[in-house]
Structure 1
Amino acid sequence: MNAGAVMKALVGSESGGYRLADDIDIPVPKPGMMLYRVHAVALSPYDAKIVDFSNTPGAVGGCDFAGIVFGVGEGVTRFKEGDRVLAVTFGLNASDKTAGAFAEYALATEDLSCHVPDSLSFEQACSMGLGIATAGLALFQAPGLHLEMPRPKSADENTPSFVLVSGGATGTGTMATQLLKIAGYTPIVTCSPANNAMCEAYGAAACFDYRSSTCGADIREYTANSLVSVFDCVTDPSTMRMCYEAIGSSGGKYVALEAITPLVKYTRRDVRADWLMAPTIMGTPVEIPGTYGRSSTPEHRIFGVELFLLADKLLKEGRIKNHPLEIREGGLASIPTYVNDLRVGNVRAKRQVVPLVGA
């Protein structure tokens, strides 16, 4: 590629939101990184929240993508030029404006990437990286469940080891359900009854209607008062309260994807509650104002290496699959409209995917 070559990319606008730019320098891969030709991107709630809460003018947006390796940085050994790869990154990054997926070319970290098997299209593959990172951190790093697939079991363990996924029909929820089942846990989920069959297809042993006033009590009865681990993909006061009601009388662990309300948190002193920011898997500080900021977390990066190596193996074996998709046309220029659909709640039980090559 010629020095000084430029590309089209969706970047943070000085007036808020995203804007399409056609003069962004194509980045050069640093040690341990690859440069992709991006074939497809997936949209996530993170893309809507970050542009509203912590926009960085001129920074490339986007998290989830898949494409073909165009060049590799020093020290990269798992991938070579021409490989089909999926990855996760975190766009609108105040400390690195090149770290985004909504572009013709994007950078990826070798540690947080997976080979895409021939059985998967780029549209399918691009929707999986963020879910792997988020569900993996929430389940196997935050509460300390065993990441081994399958997990070690004690000789006298005869009853199911339940884990509740609140929001089982979300993209992160279906990935969490799959990873839990593969690891030997018994995933149960909350969702709309219309999505029961879908959640069961991803491995849910039971589904509970989150709108029911008895949802928490029903889960507690189903699990015979034994539930100790909850992952809340929705995270509002009502779902947190329901999850607390579902956890057994011996207490347990609750992990969420948003800041949690103290009004619910301290209603049970026997429940250890925490919430995470998925970008910590990069191991670098999360430079977002207020409570969303995080200091560097090297242990999360070490965990991410193990997680994505495992995900690479599971993808090759066909043991994890993508969330249901909604293919959206129009390329980079159309993405702000689709992000707004996420913002106003028009997207449910599907991941929006935008093909870029040929768009």
Structure 2
Amino acid sequence: MTYIQRRALVTSEGMGLELVERTDLFDLEPDMMTCRVLAVALNPGDAKSSDYTASRGSVAGFDFAGEVLQVGSGVTRFKYGDRIAGFAFGYNPDNKLTGAFADIVLAVEGFALMLPPQWTFEEGATLGTSICTIGFALTHYLGVSMPAGDERVGHHSQGDHILISGGATATGLVATQLLSLAGFQVVATCSPSSATLVKSFGAIATFDYRSAACGAEIRAFTADNLVRVLDCVSSAETMSMCYAAISSRGGHYVGLNPLSARIKYTRRDIKAEWVMALAMFGLPVRLGGDFGRPATPSLRGLGTRIFCAAEDLLAEDRLKAPRLQIRVGGLPAIREGLEDMRKGRTDGVKLVYTV
């Protein structure tokens, strides 16, 4: 048994977050590690989970970067002192110790990657959730292989188009890079002011999501051949726009939030699904409503392959960090950041806190 004395943000009686000093007792599983957390990042999922989770006392947070302190008996990729970034199972009712918003985190080897020397911990903290979510969406749902090693553009030599809705979001920018490296012709929606940024991450064309004709313009640009869409905003409005962009022959829509039933059944020729990234741990996701998932052990191995592929890309300097804003105040300041996120005051950047 191992004891950890740490500070952590945990879900409280009122379903908000409370900063506590606590001693946690646990068995270090063979594929787990303890890491000193040096930076964490916020996600839309943190705002939703901190409001609605029923897991009182669970450690919050998903994204972290830091240094390895201790490794389990089965860990082979990392050792003491390694600089890593990862994805943690925050707000977990089955194991309340595993969230990222703490000064020491319990990390899973398969959901972490080595940070190259040129990456700061703050930059690394932006990666975990995005890598897991996008890798899951691409490989499991859209049938797209992760680019890895020295694989070059041209994996999909036919140059298929794929649409990223919300191309300027942190997740959208990661998705754009991965898909362009896999050989796709990425088209993305964003504001005109973000078009240059999104193209610098690999998009060949951008479209203003505020235009009433956005979907029709994308369908025309792709010559009515668009069959894959990843919606990184996933509102009823963006889903409707994506449906208008998809080929008249049908296609596949994947979102990051529960689907609008009103939109979903307007086209029976479109397969519509959405991603619950926590399912990648292979464990039950015991959340209410549409968010719950049964245990799927095979997904854990897929998660490991996704993170290893992303680690290769980082090592070859083929991925760059999305836009981020480093905020002061450490763990106590996260609650203010979540409130800013709920009220739309983050200007589309990833909020990162040094711990």
Kept in 2, the 8 Å contact 1:7–1:26? The answer is no
Q: Which runs of 5+ in 2 are unaligned?
A: none
Give the C-alpha shift of residue 3 in structure 1.
Answer: 5.9
State the AA in 2 paired with 1:276: V
Q: Is the 8 A contact 2:156 2:182 kept in 1?
A: no
Residue 208 of structure 1 aligns to which amino acid in structure 2?
F
Scaled by the length of structure 1, the TM-score of the pair is: 0.95
- Give distance in 2, aligned partners of 1:99 and 1:324: 27
Alignment partner, residue 166 of structure 2: 167
Q: Relative to structure 1, is the Cα distance of residues 6 and 26 closer, same or farther in structure 2, using a 3 angstrom cutoff? A: farther
Query: Which residue of 1 is the match for residue 287 of structure 2?
Result: 288
Q: For 1:245 and 1:123, how far apart are their aligned partners in 2?
A: 38
- Supply the AA of the counterpart residue of 1:301: R
Distance in 2 (CA, whole Å) between partners of 1:3 and 1:115 is 25
- Judging changes above 3 Å, is the alpha-carbon distance between structure 1 residues 339 and 55 closer, same or farther for their aligned structure 2 residues? farther
Structure 1 counterpart of 2:89: 90
Q: Which residue of 2 aligns with 1:125?
A: 124
Is 2:345 the partner of 1:353? no
Aligned counterpart, 1:73: 72
**What CA distance in whole angstroms lies between the structure 2 residues aligned with 1:301 and 1:3?**
24
Measured against aligned partners, the alpha-carbon deviations of 1:65-100 in whole angstroms (never above 9, x if no partner) come to 010000001111110001101110121111110110
| Mapped partners of 1:84, 1:279: distance in 2 | 23
Match of 2:191 in 1: 192
One-letter code aligned to 2:348: A
Residue 262 of structure 1 deviates from its aligned partner by 1.6
Alignment deviations for residues 208-241 of structure 1 (CA, whole Å, 9 cap, x no partner): 0111000000000110111000001111111111
Distance across 2 between alignment mates of 1:267 and 1:296: 31
**Bigger CA drift: 57-66 or 343-352?**
343-352
The one-letter amino acid paired with 1:323 is P
**How many correspondences in the alignment?**
351
Please state if 1:217 is matched with 2:195: no
Assess if the C-alpha contact under 8 Å between 1:9 and 1:24 holds in 2. no
Report the residue type matching 2:109 in the other structure. Answer: E
The equivalent of 1:258 in structure 2 is 257
Paired residue type of 2:285: V
The share of aligned pairs that are identical, in percent, is 44
Alignment correspondent of 2:60: 61
279 and 143 in structure 1: CA distance in 2 versus 1, 3 angstrom threshold: same
In 2, the alpha carbon distance for the partners of 1:246 and 1:40 equals 38
Residues 194 and 30 (structure 1), Cα distance of their counterparts in 2 relative to 1, 3 Å cut: same
Q: For the structure 1 residues 184 and 153, does the alpha-carbon distance in structure 2 shift closer, same or farther, using more than 3 Å as the test?
A: closer
Secondary structure class of the residue paired with 2:139: helix
1:306 corresponds to: 305
Question: Residue 269 of structure 1 corresponds to which residue in structure 2?
Answer: 268
Q: Which amino acid aligns with 1:168?
A: G
Residues 26 and 105, structure 1, Cα contact 8 Å, conserved in 2:
no
Quick one: which amino acid aligns to residue 135 of structure 2?
A: G
Q: Distance in 2 between matches of 1:234 and 1:23?
A: 36
Instruction: Supply the RMSD in Å over aligned alpha carbons.
Output: 1.5
Identify the residue that residue 113 of structure 2 maps to in structure 1.
114
Where does residue 104 of structure 1 map in the other structure? 103
Shift of 1:288: 0.1
CA distance in 1, matches of 2:241, 2:115: 38
Runs of 4+ deviating beyond 3 Å: 2-5, 148-154
Q: Deviations over 1:290-317 (max 9, x none)?
A: 1110011223222111111101100111
Change (3 A) 1:26 1:64: farther
Q: 3-state DSSP class of the match of 1:66?
A: strand
Write the mapping of 1:325-336 to structure 2, written as runs, cut at 5 A: 325-336=324-335
**TM-score with structure 2 setting the length:** 0.96
1:27/1:107 contact within 8 Å kept: no
Give the counterpart letter for 2:297 in structure 1: P
Distance 1:99 1:124 in 2: 21
Amino acid at match of 1:97: K
Letter in 2 for 1:324: R
Supply the distance in 2 between the matched residues of 1:136 and 1:91 (Cα, whole angstroms): 19
3-state secondary structure, aligned to 1:136: helix
Contact 2:84 2:115 in 1 (8 A): yes
Residue correspondence of structure 1 range 39-50 to structure 2 within 5 A: 39-50=38-49
The answer to whether the 8 A contact 1:17-1:55 is kept is no
Give, in whole Å, the separation in 2 of the partners of 1:236 and 1:352.
21
Q: Distance in 1 between matches of 2:40 and 2:28?
A: 19
Tell me which amino acid in the other structure corresponds to 2:304.
V
1:326 counterpart letter in structure 2? Q
1-structure distance, mates of 2:221, 2:335: 43
SS for the counterpart of 1:269 is coil
Q: Take 1:286 and 1:175, find their aligned partners in 2: how far apart are those partners?
A: 25
In structure 1, list runs of 5 or more residues that go unmatched: none
Change (3 A) 1:4 1:115: closer
Aligned-partner Cα distance in 2 for 1:214–1:34? 50
Secondary structure at the counterpart of residue 95 of structure 2:
coil
Amino acid at match of 1:9: A
Counterpart-to-counterpart distance in 1, 2:133 and 2:319: 15
